[in-house]
Amino acid sequence: MAGETKNKYDRQLRIWGDQGQAALEKANVCLLNCGPTGSETLKNLVLGGVGSVTIVDGSKVDIGDLGNNFMVNKQSVGESKAKFVCNFLQELNDAVGAKFVEESPEMLIETRPSFFAQFTLVIATQLVENLLVKLDKICRQENVMLVVARSYGLTGLVRISLKEHNVIESKPDHFLDDLRLHNPWPELKQFAKAIDLKVADPVVHKHTPYIVILVIAAEEWAGMHGGCFPTTREEKKEFKDLIKSYMIDLDEENYKEAVEAAFKVSASLGISSHLRQIVNDSSCDVDSSSPDFWVLVAALKEFVENEGGGEPPLEGSIPDMTSLTEYYINLQKIYQAKAEADCLAMEHRVRTILKRIGRDPDAISKADIKNFCKNARKLYVIRYRTIEDEFSSPVAPELQKYLTDEDFSFAAGFYVLFRAVDRFAANYNRFPGVFDSDMDEDVARLKAIAIAILTEVGCHASALQEDLITEMCRFGAAEIHAVAAYVGGVASQEVIKLITRQFVPMSGTFIFNGIDNKSQLLAL
């Protein structure tokens, strides 16, 4: 990556690295409707350096847009909204390719579905239910990712839709270090045995790495307990007492570190249930059309069953700890050597599988295999229901539970009412509450529609709060800039996760409740 680009995107490169930035710069994103929600979403992506964007909007700028969209001005009134927003975004980052299409998204969805095949991802904002269902089918057929974003008064939603999303670099906030203290390999055991915990030199004693202390203590414990490690609360307490018995001074930080990390010795052998579910997935039966991810998972499954002895490849890094420099460097080398050996074994299996399924054995790079090995314990596979499936048959018990749960009742209520206002608009050619004179009548109509929706999916309509129905009418389908900016921020964050294939994207419908300032995810 060029030095100028690195300086320009320095802060974000620290989060998703060169590989993530390269994926962003290759991406071609389409935005449907460039009102405040769409404009705010795309602004964040343009500033982040997405490769190219296409704005689709057939409307003209009107006076009302000046109050909630900072990307248009008085001079643009009566002109193409897509054109002015496109020009504004281009000024923010001239490295991004930007173009616009002066046509309504509805027209493209209905008459030119092939238009969407050219994009990496489509962001659909302010679209009603029937159009979303059609667009979702188009995007899935073309293997294009879809992110739905909508703001409506003081509420908003974000939803992702695609067949399957695989994440290698999930980057969890908290994850147990891969030190294998519960299952040390011969070289680590040999290194630990060569160090005497009863050494007379106080400096050496205070600077013996806690990894060594725990390997020795665990072996001693196992020798006294039939080869088993501590499992019960009482046994874990006794194991910590064993570690403390090695201390010759109360201020030995390395032994305090060993006591704090003692639980790592009791970690379960083998792979996690989450990872086991992935390696046992039917997609592991790979063929020539299988994505690289599943080829790598197939190789991982073979590795775990053979060279790994039930364990995934070692990550190869160790945390900071109190230690003599010589000990620490030698430990690093031992962990790195084991990780490299595991990676070589994985690479051999990947090449063999590729050859077996009729693909070029070098189709997956060594760097990609190494990155996979480093993150093998943290893989994620997310499969999304189609929007049509969710709307026609949501998980009724879950929806009912959300509606009756005090913490989730507003979010679930808004979820139902988003569908209700779209059905209202289909029936009356306008959204509820647009005209003050019709407010009372609109509240009654919207309530009847919401009750019908809940009845259709098998939920009790009494759980829907009447105050929410009134509020939804009072919103009058307005896009408030503060809400749009927040919803757009959430949507753009999910877009970046999807494009970079880093971090875990949401797997439900995100609802923002501006009345209580709550954000919640509904799994329906």
**Over the stretch 288-297, which tens digit does the pLDDT of each residue have?**
999 999 999 9
pLDDT at 4: 66
Give the residue ranges of DSSP H helices in 357-479.
366-374, 387-392, 396-404, 409-428, 439-456, 466-475
Delimit the domains of the chain by residue range: 1-170+480-522, 186-266, 273-383, 391-475
Residues in the chain: 524
Which helix H or strand E contains 485, and what residues bound it?
A: helix 481-500
Sheet of 518-522: strand order equals 97-101, 52-56, 28-32, 121-125, 145-152, 155-161, 509-513, 518-522
Q: Is the pLDDT of residue 375 over 60?
A: yes
Residue tagged 């529609």 (tokens): 449
pLDDT at 441: 95
Residue tagged 């030199």 (tokens): 201
Q: Is the pLDDT of residue 89 over 80?
A: yes
Q: Is the pLDDT of residue 364 over 90?
A: yes
Determine the average pLDDT of the residues in 237-253: 93
pLDDT at 436: 85
3-state secondary structure of 31: strand
Angle between helices 409-428 and 466-475 (to 10 degrees): 50
**Over the stretch 489-514, which tens digit does the pLDDT of each residue have?**
999 999 999 999 999 999 999 999 99
Residue 390: both structure tokens together = 């969710």
Determine the average pLDDT of the residues in 432-436: 91
Query: What percent of the chain is modeled with pLDDT above 70?
Result: 99
pLDDT at 2: 60
pLDDT level of residue 51 (50, 70, 90 thresholds): very high
Chain mean position to CA 493: 9
pLDDT at 306: 97
pLDDT at 321: 96
Bin 331: left if φ > 0, else alpha if -120 < ψ < 50, else beta.
alpha
Output the CA torsion 356→357→358→361 (10° steps): -60
462-466 contacts, C-beta under 8 A, 24 or more apart: 463/400, 463/403, 463/404, 463/409, 464/403, 464/413, 464/416, 465/409, 465/410, 465/413
**Over the stretch 100-125, which tens digit does the pLDDT of each residue have?**
999 999 999 999 999 999 999 999 99
Q: Of 24, 197, 11, give the one whose Cα is nearest residue 95.
A: 24
pTM (two decimals): 0.92
Distance from C-alpha of 166 to C-alpha of 168, rounded to nearest angstrom: 7
Q: Is the pLDDT of residue 133 over 90?
A: yes
Which amino acid is present at 252? E
pLDDT at 461: 83
Angle between helices 366-374 and 292-305 (to 10 degrees): 60
Q: DSSP string covering 210-227, please?
A: HHHHHHHHHHHHHHHTTT
369-373 contacts, C-beta under 8 A, 24 or more apart: 369/296, 369/343, 370/343, 371/19, 371/168, 371/169, 372/168, 372/296, 372/300, 372/346, 373/312, 373/313, 373/315, 373/339, 373/342, 373/343, 373/346
Residue 100: both structure tokens together = 């616009």
Strands (E), 102-230: 121-125, 145-152, 155-161, 164-167
Mean pLDDT (the chain) is 95
Distance from C-alpha of 393 to C-alpha of 408, rounded to nearest angstrom: 20
Q: How many CA atoms lie within 13 A of 6 on its CB side?
A: 6
Phi and psi, residue 436, nearest 5°: -60, -35
pLDDT level of residue 488 (50, 70, 90 thresholds): very high
3-state secondary structure of 100: strand
**Over the stretch 305-362, which tens digit does the pLDDT of each residue have?**
999 999 999 999 999 999 999 999 999 999 999 999 999 999 999 999 999 999 999 9
Angle between helices 409-428 and 439-456 (to 10 degrees): 110
Is 501 in contact with 166 (CB distance < 8 Å)? yes
pLDDT at 487: 98
pLDDT level of residue 269 (50, 70, 90 thresholds): confident
Distance from C-alpha of 280 to C-alpha of 195, rounded to nearest angstrom: 41
Bridge-based pairing of strands 121-125 and 145-152 is: parallel
Residue tagged 């679209």 (tokens): 127
pLDDT at 330: 97
Give me the CATH code for the 1-170+480-522 domain, please.
3.40.50.720
